[in-house]
Amino acid sequence: MLGRRGLGAAQCAWRGSWADPVRAVSTKALSRRSTIRDARLLDSGSRVAVGGWVKSVRKHKSVSFVNVNDGSCLGELQITLPAEETQEAAVQSLGAKLSDITVGSSVYAEGELREVPGGKHKRLELHPSTLEVLGECDIQKYPLQKKYHSLEFLRENLHLRARTNTFGAVTRVRNALSQGLHSYFQKNDFLHLHSPILTSNDCEGAGEMFRIAKMDGKDEEFFGTPTYLTVSGQLHGEMYACALSKVYTFGPTFRAENSNTTRHLAEFWMVEPEMAFAGLEECVASAQGAVQSSVAHALDTCSEDIAFFNKNYDKQIAERLERVVEKDFARLTYTEAIGVLQKAVAESKGKVSFEKKPEWGMDLQTEHERFLAEKYVGGPVFVTDYPADIKAFYMRKNAPDEQDRETVAGMDLLVPKIGELVGGSVREERFEVLEKKMRHLGLLPEGDLDEDSIAASGGDLDWYLDLRRFGSVPHAGWGLGFERLVLFATGMDNIRDVIPLPRFPGQCKH
Amino acid sequence: MLGRRGLGAAQCAWRGSWADPVRAVSTKALSRRSTIRDARLLDSGSRVAVGGWVKSVRKHKSVSFVNVNDGSCLGELQITLPAEETQEAAVQSLGAKLSDITVGSSVYAEGELREVPGGKHKRLELHPSTLEVLGECDIQKYPLQKKYHSLEFLRENLHLRARTNTFGAVTRVRNALSQGLHSYFQKNDFLHLHSPILTSNDCEGAGEMFRIAKMDGKDEEFFGTPTYLTVSGQLHGEMYACALSKVYTFGPTFRAENSNTTRHLAEFWMVEPEMAFAGLEECVASAQGAVQSSVAHALDTCSEDIAFFNKNYDKQIAERLERVVEKDFARLTYTEAIGVLQKAVAESKGKVSFEKKPEWGMDLQTEHERFLAEKYVGGPVFVTDYPADIKAFYMRKNAPDEQDRETVAGMDLLVPKIGELVGGSVREERFEVLEKKMRHLGLLPEGDLDEDSIAASGGDLDWYLDLRRFGSVPHAGWGLGFERLVLFATGMDNIRDVIPLPRFPGQCKH
């Protein structure tokens, strides 16, 4: 019998067979247990060992069915307990007590896979020769004993929610989306850049940054300067792109915003590629490529999970994802987009209206973004060339348009259900233009950039100007809020449900 | 002519060809420029466009050579400028001024690849039909104008150091090691778990944790409880492994230690897999598999970089890495290791000595670890079953040995040059044993675990006990300090040189 004691025994046997104390690693161990996903793909008659948690128990007079899941897939493996006269004795002969086999308990089983008789689709069940309850579960105390729980209830039981179908599926899809992104970047010559969490650069609004506390009992900063948690890896991405051409960051970023909504987290993951020798075209094409690669990998490896979301959370999710992968994304300029919105209102005879009236110069609101993606295009759409006044200082200005309005070479990717999924731009690579802008915004110390005034300015961004001083290159990049992609791909509604341990005002348990 | 203006022109042309404002993404853009790595693999006679930074300029009377690198590989592409009577005029006709082509400037070139005449090895050079200086570089001011700089000097110029051969190579090898780890875990059914940075659990020594400052101007915690930066994702890994079987975290972790050494950082990356239904054998086998997969991927994709490190930093690095991939790692118990060390001292007639005398019960020091890996085994070696007293509370106790000494089912992987690379263990899965230990160590509130006392205890670890209360499973995991792996694979000596932006006491610039 394997199981807990079996593991120890195997190790001892291995140990005894060597005279010299140095042994090689036994690499056989990992192959002993099959995942339930793999077991379900085997042929009838195969012998297999599995471990997992009991999802349901149906006890009948002559036969009982125990459904087990191990997280490797959404599906369960049915263990069929023998039909003998005294079932309790039969189960005991396998190594377990029937009363210990409850929802939530963990079991280890070995046996033979056989086809379930009489089913429409081929389905295998396990006839065990060994069955061991590894960990019991008191169903009187177990918070998840019932089959269905509200998402709210599960948010209160974060440490157990991964044991439910929904959160198992979210975790697998999240993993697949993440790997699909890595694949895209690795295939396209981007280097993964582990940009730092801790930073002294505070250029995107101090109020929204978490700050590291001073050292206990002393009025001293650990790093000598005020230190914050990063809000974006972009500037560090630019640092490396301006040396190695193509890099991407993929890690947590932070906002100390007091927002209690279904769209905001204090800690969330961003992927931020940055490319040298690139402009708006590369920005747009790589954002499409990365999103498509990510979604395709989820469709390829998590079809069962996506069917589950389609059935239980959003009836259009499967079709929407297929469409993302098949077609090139649409494209509009901001100016065209405003025209489309205004025309839609004017021609709809009151059927289309927005809380905020579409006018050139305004920032697009979620209602506008969703209208463009859902109603006008019916899929993902890039909006490019936004007014300069509503965008960040580092975006590169276009030449003024026919009406002498100033825009920047920036783009947002809008998708149905979510609105903005990606935001990016060409970066201002001209030293003089950037320096003037930064000085105007107070991001540089006043006066000449001598060493004393730089040191006095706190957040020292002179290094960022150095990237333009020495061998500057046209470069561009974008950022994708990874949780938004998970929302988009699962059909879940609340951002707190698509990250393992959500952090928001008042909540940082565990 | 392409280059900066070219990008804009292409975009405009695309725009004009659509009557309706909605267009599809142009995916042609990314293919326009070749990486220098790819260009070097083309055939003579191929036409190509490249961008990069000038590494060296050799101006001769009739011909000049400009070497360019774009970070896609260590190697450079030589651009050969035409041998015409007035070279200045010839270069101008290509689009550039000869005097602007200096070390550090960035260029864009199109032209034909031709074989360099007379070389022993086949080597291509670019004969340009277009040459544009995108960003000039004043060599009087550029900190990197000279060819060689000390690593210390480059640490003072972090934002530019990726432009040097050494740090380009470090970044590429780091990327490859990271992807090799992901590949291993994805192939072996581990789900990537994005465990949080922010945590209220403070169980591994409060003095070493960074704390988030209270909200500005108020005496209030953003999250309601004292909040820290994580020192390890292990507990969160266990949370998810006890639901989905196999997970791994790969992200930054933090230590507020006042250590100014070549081995310590305040922010460093850890990979931490956690497996349910697993014991010490799975722990050891997966650590070997992951390290081998990681190193193999670096050898496969960065051979030029590793040859560079072998030549310039550590003459044994290439051979050491090959050996890691080829052979199973060796294995010793702690008790055997102490015996080996004692015997080595006793039999060496004074040639082997340690600052700290090897005795059963002590923690192994780096001098012992390196002796075992370098002298005794000559490669990576797992040491298992350490004394219980020197290891963490969550490690699972073995049965006492023949001499009634208590050990835990833990393992460390020791490697030449570094010492400990990986540390792991089976986790204590028995509720009663773990609860007693945690209470003894003050990790749980005193008295009964009613809700009030839990709330009062601050760092609430009752959830960790829940994993054992409900369907507990034997499980195991390990942690690898990723920067140590990069040191091991590059032969670099200082941990500050193998992470993009090192953070240590007094240093958090950028």
The DSSP H or E segment spanning A126 is: strand A124-135
Q: Would you say the CATH fold of B161-428+472-495 matches that of B34-141?
A: no
Domain residue ranges of chain A, discontinuous segments joined by +: 34-141, 161-428+472-495
Q: Which residues, including other chains, have CB under 8 Å from residue B351's CB and lie 6 or more apart?
A: none
Quote the crossing angle between the two packed helices A482-490 and A165-187, to the nearest 10°: 120
B203, closest residue in chain A (CA to CA): A510
The candidate with the shortest Cα–Cα distance to A321, out of A285, A293, A296, A287, is A296
Whether A120 has a pLDDT exceeding 90, the answer reads no
pTM, two decimal places: 0.93
> Is A510–B199 a contact, with Cβ atoms under 8 angstroms apart?
yes
The candidate with the shortest Cα–Cα distance to B315, out of B325, B307, B324, is B307
Separation in Å, CA of B493 to nearest CA in chain A: 19
Burial grade of A196 (CB within 10 A; 0-12, 13-18, 19 or more): buried
* pLDDT confidence of residue B451: 44
Burial grade of B471 (CB within 10 A; 0-12, 13-18, 19 or more): buried
Taking the C-alpha atoms of residue B367 and residue B374, their distance in angstroms, rounded to an integer, is 10
Indicate which of B32, B108, B159, B343 best probes the interface with A, i.e. most A CBs within 10 Å of its own CB. Answer: B159
Whether B453 has a pLDDT exceeding 80, the answer reads no
Taking the C-alpha atoms of residue A267 and residue B229, their distance in angstroms, rounded to an integer, is 12
pLDDT 10s digits, A370-384? 999 999 999 999 999
* pLDDT confidence of residue B63: 87
Q: Which residues, including other chains, have CB under 8 Å from residue B425's CB and lie 6 or more apart?
A: B280, B283, B391, B392, B394, B395, B396, B408, B409, B410, B411, B476, B477, B478
pLDDT 10s digits, B291-335? 999 999 999 999 999 999 999 999 999 999 999 999 999 999 999
Contacts of A28 in chain B (CB under 8 A): 285
> Is B21–A336 a contact, with Cβ atoms under 8 angstroms apart?
yes
pLDDT 10s digits, A27-67? 555 457 899 999 999 999 999 999 999 999 998 888 889 99
**ipTM for the predicted complex:** 0.92
Whether A456 has a pLDDT exceeding 50, the answer reads no
* pLDDT confidence of residue A216: 73
* pLDDT confidence of residue A28: 55
Residue A473: pLDDT band (50, 70, 90) is very high
Residue range B161-428+472-495 forms a domain whose CATH class is alpha beta
Indicate which of A163, A215, A230, A281 best probes the interface with B, i.e. most B CBs within 10 Å of its own CB. Answer: A281
Residue A224 backbone zone (phi > 0: left; psi -120 to 50: alpha; other: beta): left
Residue type, A393: F
Hunting for tokens 């390290």 — which residue is that? Answer: B291
CB pairs under 8 A between A and B: 428
Phi, psi of B118 (to 5 degrees): 80, 0
Q: Which CATH superfamily is domain B34-141 in?
A: Nucleic acid-binding proteins (2.40.50.140)
* pLDDT confidence of residue A163: 97
A162, closest residue in chain B (CA to CA): B243
Q: Please, what is the average pLDDT of chain B?
A: 89
- High-pLDDT (> 70) share of chain A, %: 89
pLDDT 10s digits, A146-199? 778 999 999 999 999 999 999 999 999 999 999 999 999 999 999 999 999 999
Contacts of A213 in chain B (CB under 8 A): 210-214
A210, closest residue in chain B (CA to CA): B212
Helix residue spans in A226-333 (DSSP H): 234-244, 280-301, 303-312, 317-326
Contact A212, B211 (CB under 8 A): yes
Whether B232 has a pLDDT exceeding 70, the answer reads yes
* pLDDT confidence of residue B220: 85
The more confident residue out of A349 and A218 is A349
